[in-house]
Amino acid sequence: MEKDNVCINCFSQIDKVAKLLKLGQAELDILTVPKRILTFSFPVKLDSGEIRYFTGYRVQFNDARGPTKGGIRFHPEINLEEIKTLAFLMALKCAVVNLPYGGAKGGVIINPKKFSEAEIERVSRGYIREIFKFIGPRIDIPAPDVNTDAGIMAWMLDEYEKLEGKHAPDAITGKPVALLGSRARDYSTSMGGAYVLQELAETLGMKPKKTSVAVQGFGNVGMNIARILHEFGYKIVAVSDSKSGIFNKDGLNIKEVIAHKNKTGNLSKFKGAKEISNENLLELKTDVLVPAALEDQITKKNAKNVKAKLILEMANRPITPEADKILLEKNIFVVPDILANAGGVVVSYFEWVQNSQNYYWSEKEVLDKLKTYMTDAVKELSKVCADFRCDMRKSLYVNAIRKILEAERLRGNLK
């Protein structure tokens, strides 16, 4: 196997369960080598008339359980190894919440803040032209991710349908409702995380009004989970974005915080709150910490200073494997990303189902179904954890990997 094709980070992710499940070489290959890796460059004409080439990726990790599924991110610091790892985690995530999907991920190396809306549209369309032959409703279904949204998915769908020569709304999810997107999709990741916390809180005896929460990251996911948990009665004591953060031990009025952010563009100078850095927010003494920003926020350098009782991973891979071990030793309860933030892909699945049937559900129907999927996954996890007597992340990995390998075995790809 070519070394460049192997997902190096995947080894550290599955190392904790490889011995437990007695994985052989063929099984390790399935779990560490993506089925397909696309790396390409494509030209885009900028507003100035200049031609700029952008690098894009799409990794389809495993499709034993169904067509691959995963977001597309626009970010200046993405690389192929990161995309491989995120595609692997998507495969696990879909298995954890029992969706008939495999895992994929994609992205473009770009800082979207430095380009106009028209330029971003041309990048979006150019990306789809490069991967068109490798995606589709029964092959690989893209969705939004970091720095991409429903508007970008609309451009991508339009470009796909032009190339396909017919309407294919089930080819891409996360679309605007007017283009047959699902209701509640824009906040589904956050709502799914809130449902998971709600289910676990009952088991752990955590009463919302007496539970303090700090949220790192105030983009779509962080802002919405802060809003939802505030509406559920939780006390949100701190929030932060990439520029600044605010703290009030008695709780923040999240509706007012959102209004302030929308008006001023940042969180600083919010009346009745102290300013706090992202680093200090992670180390606050709170009941619940919600990392909802980017990867690798809690590392071996700061893990020993984390004081939260429970961490809900709303970002993808916000805790490094080294930090995870430290948190486990400190008896901090971590709800891993492959469960905590799976609400987005669950509602993407609902969108795909609705598009395939050309039959659409109300927002209440979507949320009711989402709650069922998320709470069922928590209950299934509890049984696996009891069987294997292990921590939550290990239990989720065991559960997901067993499902993927069973599908491969039934297909005759494993003995």
**Rounded distance between C-alpha atoms, residue 396 and residue 36, angstroms:** 25
For 171-226, how does the pLDDT look when each residue is reduced to its tens digit (9 = 90+)? 999 999 999 999 999 999 999 999 999 999 888 889 999 999 999 999 999 999 99
User: Which of helix, strand or coil describes residue 142?
Assistant: strand
Q: What is the pLDDT of residue 2?
A: 55
Q: What pairs with residue 103 in β-bridges?
A: 62, 69
Q: Are 357 and 182 in contact (CB under 8 A)?
A: no
Dihedral (CA of 376, 17, 313, 391) sign: positive
Give the alpha-carbon dihedral of 158, 164, 167, 170, to 10 degrees.
-80
Q: What is the pLDDT of residue 395?
A: 87
**Rounded distance between C-alpha atoms, residue 139 and residue 4, angstroms:** 24
Mean pLDDT across 215-242: 96
Mean pLDDT across 91-98: 96
**Rounded distance between C-alpha atoms, residue 279 and residue 247, angstroms:** 13
Is the pLDDT at 389 greater than 70? The verdict is no
Measured in degrees and rounded to the nearest 5, phi and psi for residue 360 equal -120, 145
For 313-364, how does the pLDDT look when each residue is reduced to its tens digit (9 = 90+)? 999 899 998 999 999 999 899 999 999 999 999 999 999 999 999 999 999 9
Q: Which of 352, 295, 344 is nearest to 145 (CA)?
A: 344
User: Domains of the chain (ranges plus CATH)?
Assistant: 3-168 (3.40.50.10860), 188-335 (3.40.50.720)
Q: What is the pLDDT of residue 390?
A: 62
For 8-50, how does the pLDDT look when each residue is reduced to its tens digit (9 = 90+)? 888 878 887 898 899 999 999 999 999 999 999 999 999 999 9
pLDDT bin (cut points 50, 70, 90) of residue 243 is confident
**Rounded distance between C-alpha atoms, residue 351 and residue 375, angstroms:** 20
Q: What is the pLDDT of residue 386?
A: 62
**Rounded distance between C-alpha atoms, residue 188 and residue 344, angstroms:** 5
105 in active site: yes
Given 84, 105, 175, 403, which residue is catalytic? 105
First to last CA, the chain: 20
Measured in degrees and rounded to the nearest 5, phi and psi for residue 180 equal 70, 30
Q: What is the pLDDT of residue 13?
A: 80
Is the pLDDT at 387 greater than 60? The verdict is no
Q: What is the pLDDT of residue 11?
A: 86
The two structure tokens encoding residue 320: 């490094």
